[in-house]
Amino acid sequence: MKTTKSRYGHLLQNPLQDRVDRARPGAELALPAGVWEGNLQIDKKITLRGHGTHSSFINGMGSYQSTLIVGPSDVTVQLSRLSLGRPSDRAVGPNGLTVIGQGKVSAKDAKFLGQDWAVALWDEGEVQLRRCKLSADEYGLVLLGLARAKVQNCSLIKNGQGCGLLSFDSTQADVSVSTISENKNGIVAWDSSKIYLGRSQIRENRDYGIVYYLSSLGVHASLNGHDNEFRRNGKGKVKFVKEGGNRFRDKLTRKLANRIGTF
């Protein structure tokens, strides 16, 4: 299997890469049942359709890389009935999906597993998730820059060391009819990010349902919504934290950035 060197480091090329590269924009590629080993980069409009999250797996290789990178062009990739990650519910291996530049992803009936994150959006990336599961060692969904996310009927669960949803900068997230559960914290919001939360459950997170980081500059994240249920979060529903010189934020942002090689 070939390896390639890119801005994301040395990647083990997925045999699907040749099919993607040869496909015309707008094509639909069917993924037979099985495990497709290696990393995949897509920068064209295309659809990947599997045979189900328990049958079709794209499993990236290499610590701290991403199984699938979409962008940076203004293209839309559609994913359905497949899993990014190993044929297991354990969040091991590389990161799941990373969207950069103006890339866009629409996914339904999919599973995203990862090491640092399940799904991360950078720059002006956009994602729409329906009936998806996001689980990683640290973060389920990460938003940076001007990224936008719409999440419906999804589970952001078992992101053990971090949180289900992490938002920075001027990002926006619309989360409805979803479950954010069994994470360290449910939602962590920084900067001027905006989160809308409707008819969702934020429960059984080890520490807090929501953590707000308060900026010394007076610019704070906002969260609005209705008909949400907060229960059995270990330390309470909400915690407010002063940034304290941004040292923690800067360290965390550098860590996330280095994982996709943009710095």
**Mean pLDDT, range 66-70, rounded to an integer:** 93
Structural domain count, the chain: 1
Mean pLDDT of the chain: 86
Instruction: Determine contact, residues 41/17, Cβ cutoff 8 Å.
Output: yes
Indicate if the pLDDT at residue 260 is higher than 60. no
Confidence of residue 247 (pLDDT cuts 50, 70, 90): low
Given the DSSP bridges, would you call strands 9-12 and 3-6 parallel, antiparallel or unpaired? antiparallel
> Quick one: pLDDT at residue 248?
57
Indicate if the pLDDT at residue 3 is higher than 60. no
Confidence of residue 114 (pLDDT cuts 50, 70, 90): confident
Confidence of residue 86 (pLDDT cuts 50, 70, 90): confident
The range of the structural domain enclosing residue 141 comes to 3-260
Structure letter (DSSP) for residue 13: B
Kind plus residue range of the DSSP H or E element containing 17: helix 16-22
**Mean pLDDT, range 5-20, rounded to an integer:** 66
**Mean pLDDT, range 222-229, rounded to an integer:** 90
CATH number at residue 227: 2.160.20.10
Task: Please list the residues that pair with 140 across neighbouring strands.
Answer: none
> Quick one: pLDDT at residue 4?
47
Indicate if the pLDDT at residue 252 is higher than 80. no
Structure letter (DSSP) for residue 24: P
Percent with pLDDT over 90 in the chain: 63
Confidence of residue 57 (pLDDT cuts 50, 70, 90): very high
Indicate if the pLDDT at residue 111 is higher than 60. yes
The residue among 206, 197, 201, 137 whose CA lies nearest residue 167 is: 197
**Mean pLDDT, range 57-68, rounded to an integer:** 83
Indicate if the pLDDT at residue 15 is higher than 90. no
Residue 15: Cβ within 10 Å count: 12
In this predicted structure, which of 13-27, 158-172, 180-194, 206-220 has the lowest mean pLDDT? 206-220
> Quick one: pLDDT at residue 232?
96
Given the DSSP bridges, would you call strands 46-49 and 179-181 parallel, antiparallel or unpaired? unpaired
In the sheet with 236-242, reading across from the earlier edge strand, the strands are 40-42, 66-70, 95-99, 117-121, 139-143, 163-167, 185-189, 208-214, 236-242
Indicate if the pLDDT at residue 263 is higher than 50. no
How do residues 160-170 score in pLDDT, each as one tens digit?
888 999 999 99
**Exposure of 138 in the CB half-sphere (CA atoms within 13 A):** 15
In this predicted structure, which of 81-90, 132-141, 195-204 has the lowest mean pLDDT? 81-90
Q: Which residue has the higher pLDDT, 32 or 214?
A: 32
d(CA 253, CA 59) in angstroms, rounded, equals 25
Task: Please list the residues that pair with 242 across neighbouring strands.
Answer: 214
> Quick one: pLDDT at residue 7?
41
User: What is the pTM for the complete model shown?
Assistant: 0.89
3-state secondary structure 117-142: EEEEECCCCEEEEECCEEEECCEEEE
